[in-house]
Structure 1
Amino acid sequence: MSRSLIRILVVLSVIAIVGILTVQAIWLRRAYALGERQFRQTAFVALQEVSDEVARLNRIRQSRSAVTQLSADYFVVRTDAPIDPILLEHYLQNAFRRHRLLTDFEYGIYNCESERMVYGAYVSSQKASSGQLAKRISRRRTLPKIQGYTYYFEIRFPGQAGVVAGQLDGWIASSVAVGLVVLLFGYTLWVVLRQRRLAEIQRDFINNITHELQTPVSTLRIAAGVLQQPDIGQQPDRLHQYARIVNEESRRLQQQVQNILQLARRQRTGFAQERTQLDLNGMMTSLANHYSPPLQLALQAEPAPLLADQYALETLLANLIDNARKYCEGTPCVVLSTRTEGNRLIWSVTDNGIGIARTHHKAIFRQFYRVPTGNVHDVKGFGLGLYYVQQVARAHGWRIRLESQPGQGSSFVFSSPLGKRPQVTGATGVVVDGVN
């Protein structure tokens, strides 16, 4: 399956998932709104019946609707006459039971002549069904004064949202089922893409290792064939030359195998196991002198203490230096620099190489990844160097930033906390003792 087809399938899958979730959310919202409307209508009818019963009790004829809704769960009911709280509570419970409006409610009776609450109580649906007394509400509670109403009571349903949600059990269950299906589909898609990426990594690794190992093996076979000639002993110069080739190619082959084994071992044991106080300036100076011509130094931090695994740090710098020298069309110029910014140590490896396009800045740190160059393999390698660099930086908690453009070289900039101030350092840059 081609990569473009996979992208199309992923995009269509994402659109389908978003569409399903959107439709489900819209229907769930509409169902909740419908449930709220039905609850309000049921409460309105039940309260109107209570008002009619109170009017018949007081032999009053109401000429208009007695129920006024002030909010989604708050109603005011006009009585136009005093009413006994116990009798009102009885009427309310009977009306709500008839209309299957089984939820908690609180009510208060208000007298506009005295402008105070006469009685108030909170009624639980469980207590109402068992006949227990309601919980009294303080008379100090302030109720709104309704113009034109002399006697009335207010009622509020604090559990309205729970009642409406309880009526949507089927909708909620279907939404949860759809959500689980979407999650499983997304996880399956992630696994498929991950497996494809692993397959690509495996393929790239096999291609790279086949190409990199084929060259020394072929050279060794040719050299072995020459050394097996009967008259090779009579040509000492030629014998010495091919013996040198065998030695160099065997060392190269051993180094390549050693790099892979070392990376595998570090992945198991960690990239920052044995941390010690290092003098980064001394380590960079020592590395610079190992190359010919020597590397340039811009060591502005004085001193440059760093807490790190010595082997991992040396390998990190060596990988960056080797890449800088390999990926250069002219005379390589590599600059190692250090400086301080506040309590952080900023250090970098800068070169004048071919540079890296911005589209590859994140990908180059992936395992076995190499910037595509078609079928040309001018530079040897497995694509493990920058992956090792990122793993070491991540294990130490360092920040890494790549600054590069095609044709303008590359700069790998690291930011790490300052270590302890070194007092005595060895030849390799390891700090023997240090204090703040």
Structure 2
Amino acid sequence: MSRRVFRILIILSVISIIGIITVQIVWVRKAYALRERQFRQTAFIALQDVANQVGRLNGITQSYTAVTQLSPDYFIVNTDSPVDPGILEHYIQNSLRNHHLITDFEYGIYNCESDRMIYGAFVSLNANPETVQASRNLPKFSRSPYYFGIHFPSQTSFIAGHLDGWIASSAAVLLVVLFFGYTLVVVLRQRKLTEVQRDFINNITHELQTPVATLRIAADVLQSDSIFSQPERHRQYVRVVQEESLRLQKQVSNVLQLSRSERMQFTINATEVDLHELLTEAATVFHPHVTLELRAENAVIRADRYHLENVINNLIDNALKYNTAVPHILVQTRNEGNRLLWSVQDNGIGIAREHHQVVFNQFYRVPTGNVHAVKGFGLGLYYVWKVIKAHRWQIVLESIPGVGSIFTVKVGETKKTAFLNF
């Protein structure tokens, strides 16, 4: 599948997920609005029945517009006559139950003599026995001298309780969408891993074929009879065979070492190591491009000498390879509080910000550094990070393209991070 087709499928999948979620939200909102209208209409009918019962009790004919809604959960019922609170509460409870509005409510009766709502009470139809509590002050209504107000504080939960089917279906759809999204993320990761592995195979094929081809050519030349009459040329080809053999051995060793570390738990054999001694030895090997500034007071640390040497050499070697000018590499040590810090700073091509968080990943190679002169497997910095992690230290990358990079190792807590502090 081409990248273009894959990207189109990803875009369509994302649009589909967003569309499904949007449609589900719209339908749930519409279902809630429909249930809300049904609640309001049922409440109107139930309260109108209460007004009619109060009218018959007082011997008056009640109008068909006795109920007025002041807010989504607050209603005013005109009785046109005084009403006993106990009788009113009984009428309200029976009417709500008959119309299947089994929900809590609070009511208050308007007293025209004192011009205020009196006898406020909270009634729970779900409680057994009934629970009656003091009510808050309900707002007044100025269009009638005899009325009562009723408030449904649990209206939202009552309506939501009648949307169980919608909520369950929405949860099922959301679960399916989440699984689909997770599958999509896994597919993207697997595709990325496949691309990385393909690049790795291409790199390793090129890196192994180059010395093999050189060895084959050198072997053909050394087999010729005329080469023995040219001692200088003979020594040159023998040197080529030796160099290419060592190069091939090093590449195979790197791959095998990584393979073993991936199959088995990466362990270290920690002993007391003089860091200044290791850095001095590395500076001698890479002379004259390395400058030392060893400022740490006590550089004796517990570390695996073999792996620590490899880390130091790897960082310095990268600083030399990824450099288009005359290399100037500064290796420093210093104390920061109770911690020991050592760093390798170069004046190379640098690493762009977007690569800082992934430069330590396995097989990853910065695109700008993917030139023939510095071909590799993308394993060097990954190995460095694994060693730092095994020691429970911290490695920090600071880099700007065209300026250079600083890899700082802090002896202590393990963390893979990257900062820009130039």
> Following superposition of structure 1 onto structure 2, how do residues 23-62 of structure 1 map, counting pairs within 5 Å?
23-61=23-61
Q: Which residue of 2 aligns with 1:81?
A: 82
Instruction: Say yes or no: does 1:214 pair with 2:209.
Output: yes
Q: Which residue of 2 aligns with 1:398?
A: 394
Deviation string 1:199-233 (CA, Å, 9 cap, x unpaired) is 21222121111111112222333444455556877
> Following superposition of structure 1 onto structure 2, how do residues 7-156 of structure 1 map, counting pairs within 5 Å?
7-61=7-61, 65-69=65-69, 71-79=71-79, 80-85=81-86, 87-107=87-107, 118=119, 120=121, 122-125=123-126, 133-138=129-134, 141-144=135-138, 146=140, 148=142, 153-156=148-151
8 Å contact from structure 1 (residues 281, 303) kept in 2 = no
Instruction: Tell which deviates more after alignment, 313-322 or 385-394.
Output: 385-394
**1:296 counterpart SS class:** strand
> 2 CA distance for matches of 1:15 and 1:415?
45
Report the CA distance between 1:405 and its aligned residue. Answer: 0.8
Q: Which residue of 2 aligns with 1:350?
A: 345
Q: Which residue of 1 aligns with 2:382?
A: 387
Q: Are residues 257 and 326 of structure 1, via their aligned partners in 2, closer, same or farther at CA, if it must alter by over 3 Å?
A: same
Q: Are residues 202 and 332 of structure 1, via their aligned partners in 2, closer, same or farther at CA, if it must alter by over 3 Å?
A: same
Q: Are residues 400 and 118 of structure 1, via their aligned partners in 2, closer, same or farther at CA, if it must alter by over 3 Å?
A: same
8 Å contact from structure 2 (residues 103, 152) kept in 1 = yes
Report the CA distance between 1:258 and its aligned residue. Answer: 1.5
> 2 CA distance for matches of 1:116 and 1:50?
19
8 Å contact from structure 2 (residues 105, 150) kept in 1 = yes
> 2 CA distance for matches of 1:118 and 1:251?
99
Instruction: Tell which deviates more after alignment, 175-184 or 274-283.
Output: 274-283
> 2 CA distance for matches of 1:281 and 1:168?
72
Deviation string 1:291-315 (CA, Å, 9 cap, x unpaired) is 2226112334434576655544433
Letter in 1 for 2:131: K
Instruction: Say yes or no: does 1:329 pair with 2:330.
Output: no
User: Over aligned residue pairs, what C-alpha RMSD do you find?
Assistant: 3.8
**2:373 counterpart SS class:** coil
Gaps of 5+ in 1: 420-436
Q: Which residue of 2 aligns with 1:297?
A: 292
Letter in 2 for 1:165: A
Say which of 309, 313, 319 aligns to 1:314.
309
**2:285 counterpart SS class:** coil
Q: Are residues 84 and 381 of structure 1, via their aligned partners in 2, closer, same or farther at CA, if it must alter by over 3 Å?
A: closer
> 1 CA distance for matches of 2:284 and 2:119?
96
Number of residue pairs the alignment of both structures matches: 410
8 Å contact from structure 2 (residues 356, 397) kept in 1 = no
**1:319 counterpart SS class:** helix
> 2 CA distance for matches of 1:106 and 1:276?
77
Q: Which residue of 2 aligns with 1:172?
A: 167
> 1 CA distance for matches of 2:122 and 2:318?
81
Report the TM-score, using the length of structure 1 for normalisation. 0.78
Letter in 1 for 2:25: A
Higher RCO, 1 vs 2 (CA within 8 Å, ≥6 residues apart): 1
> 2 CA distance for matches of 1:133 and 1:4?
68
Q: Are residues 409 and 163 of structure 1, via their aligned partners in 2, closer, same or farther at CA, if it must alter by over 3 Å?
A: same
Report the CA distance between 1:183 and its aligned residue. Answer: 2.4
Q: Which residue of 1 aligns with 2:365?
A: 370
Q: Are residues 4 and 304 of structure 1, via their aligned partners in 2, closer, same or farther at CA, if it must alter by over 3 Å?
A: farther
> 1 CA distance for matches of 2:112 and 2:300?
81
8 Å contact from structure 2 (residues 295, 333) kept in 1 = yes
> 2 CA distance for matches of 1:309 and 1:45?
84
8 Å contact from structure 1 (residues 324, 351) kept in 2 = yes
Q: Are residues 170 and 336 of structure 1, via their aligned partners in 2, closer, same or farther at CA, if it must alter by over 3 Å?
A: same
> 2 CA distance for matches of 1:23 and 1:191?
26
**1:137 counterpart SS class:** strand
8 Å contact from structure 2 (residues 85, 109) kept in 1 = no
8 Å contact from structure 2 (residues 353, 400) kept in 1 = yes
> 1 CA distance for matches of 2:168 and 2:347?
62
Q: Are residues 145 and 205 of structure 1, via their aligned partners in 2, closer, same or farther at CA, if it must alter by over 3 Å?
A: closer
> Following superposition of structure 1 onto structure 2, how do residues 402-421 of structure 1 map, counting pairs within 5 Å?
402-406=398-402, 408-415=403-410, 417=412
> 1 CA distance for matches of 2:65 and 2:408?
78
Q: Which residue of 2 aligns with 1:285?
A: 280
Instruction: Tell which deviates more after alignment, 234-243 or 349-358.
Output: 234-243
> 2 CA distance for matches of 1:306 and 1:41?
80
Q: Are residues 110 and 6 of structure 1, via their aligned partners in 2, closer, same or farther at CA, if it must alter by over 3 Å?
A: same
Task: Calculate percent identity across the aligned residue pairs.
Answer: 56
Q: Are residues 235 and 181 of structure 1, via their aligned partners in 2, closer, same or farther at CA, if it must alter by over 3 Å?
A: same
8 Å contact from structure 1 (residues 108, 117) kept in 2 = yes
Q: Which residue of 1 aligns with 2:419?
A: none
> 2 CA distance for matches of 1:181 and 1:328?
51
Letter in 2 for 1:398: Q
Letter in 2 for 1:354: I
Letter in 2 for 1:102: I
Q: Which residue of 2 aligns with 1:194?
A: 189
**1:383 counterpart SS class:** coil
> 1 CA distance for matches of 2:89 and 2:117?
19
Letter in 2 for 1:256: Q
8 Å contact from structure 1 (residues 393, 400) kept in 2 = no
